[in-house]
Amino acid sequence: MAAVAPRHVLVVLVVAQFTGTSLWFAINAVLPELSAQFGWPEDAAGLLSASLQGGFIVGTLCFALTMLSDRFDPRHVFLIACMAGAVCTLVAWQMVRHYEWLVVWRFLTGVCLAGIYPVGMKIAAQWFPGGLGRALGWLVGALVVGSASAHGLRAVMGALPWDTLMLAVAALAALGGLLIRSLPTPPPPLTASQPTRFAWSAFSVMWTNPTVRSSVLGYFGHMWELYTFWVLLPFILMTRVEGVAVLWWSFFVMASGAVGCVVGGAVANRWGSARVAGAQLSTSGLCCLLAPVALTAGNAFFFAWLIVWGITVAGDSPQFSTLTARHTPAHLVGSVLTMTNSIGFALSIVSIVLFTQAMPHYTMGTLLPWLALGPVLGVWALKHTMQRRS
């Protein structure tokens, strides 16, 4: 029988995921000020984001190939990754005036995040095998709010210097690691023995199991859209607002994704994770296509469009992970989730670079509809799984 999770486990997981992933957009929130102060290039946002995503890809590959989160206590892996991410942020704060070094340290921060986000999902899968859709809804919702937190902190702190934000984010990451370490030992997998070495056959479930294959492909379509939308969001908002209002709206739109995650998780047991993911992916894809209309519409339509997009662009993510985790052998869940993350974030780098490089040459109304390519392909991959109410 599965172990019953103590009541505080999910709360601690959610808070730790929030604080640990606050590292994600720490630089983006202060980028306009840093660019103006140090004369950085126009494509700095895209390059720094792509650097962090690249580090995350390298990190997830290393974690997946070594099977660290499946071979060792994932609490220890999470703690070490959080502490290392905090150190990387502190060093980046010290060297922030040197753009090339900042790119390097953001890359290393991405490597550390590979031991936070997917490992947190691994811990949730161990504690909540029966209600995983709900648990991951809260967990990924925390990641979304954590990613948005840099914008919110910056807006709250107002006139305080940018380095205060970086120090606060480093402290939050360290706190997240300590919180996870305070949890009891997760229950072991119910089936099979722990892997002792890497084997490519361990990942064959990603293409041999139809449900896992469709959820993985759907996740890839989701990743084409998600992070590029988040990177472009401040620039979209600058067409309507300026100053601290850009920070507040960036925070609200990004953080609204937590609503999609939590509500989606709450209804997933009734509707099925595939249907919830498919509905949200379809809605966010429609938001991409509506961009030319929304960008020229009145403020009410414009901001409602962004909030709906923010809710649905992230809300499908936990259900993709739920589908993958449920249909993957229990002793391989951590490694398969990590490998899926790695490939998905590689796609996000391609998308971020393409769109940020094209941004100076095309209008937002021309660019944003092309983000719908990911949702269209993702919904197509999910169509058979949605019919089975998985």
* Domains of the chain, each with CATH number or no CATH: 8-184+208-387 (1.20.1250.20)
Q: How many CA atoms lie within 13 A of 257 on its CB side?
A: 32
Q: Is the pLDDT of residue 311 over 70?
A: yes
Q: Two tokens at 35?
A: 């660019």
**What's the pLDDT band for 236 if we cut at 50, 70, 90?**
very high
pLDDT at 197 over 80: no
Kindly state the average pLDDT of the residues 119-128: 82
Other Cβ atoms less than 10 A from the Cβ of 189: the count is: 18
Judged by average pLDDT, the poorest of 2-6, 154-158, 239-243, 337-341 is: 2-6
59/133: higher pLDDT: 59
Measure the CA dihedral 84/88/94/98, to 10°.
Answer: 160
pLDDT of residue 191: 46
Q: Looking at residues 346-350, what average pLDDT do you find? A: 87
Residue 170 is inside which H or E element, if any? helix 162-181
List pLDDT tens digits, range 354-383: 998 898 889 999 999 999 999 999 999 988
- Percent pLDDT > 70 in the chain is 86
Scanning 98-204, the segments in alpha helix (DSSP H) are 99-113, 117-127, 132-157, 162-181
| Residue range 227-235: mean pLDDT, rounded | 91
Q: Please tell me the distance from the alpha carbon of residue 131 to that of residue 138, in angstroms, as a whole number.
A: 11
User: Residues 54-100: pLDDT tens digits?
Assistant: 898 898 888 877 777 777 888 899 999 999 999 998 998 888 778 78
**Mean pLDDT across the chain:** 83
What is the C-alpha to C-alpha distance for residues 59 and 338, in angstroms, rounded to an integer?
Answer: 9
* Mean predicted confidence (pLDDT) in 99-110: 88
CA-CA distance, 261 to 280, in Å (whole number)?
10
Examine the pLDDT at 229 and tell me if it is beyond 80.
yes
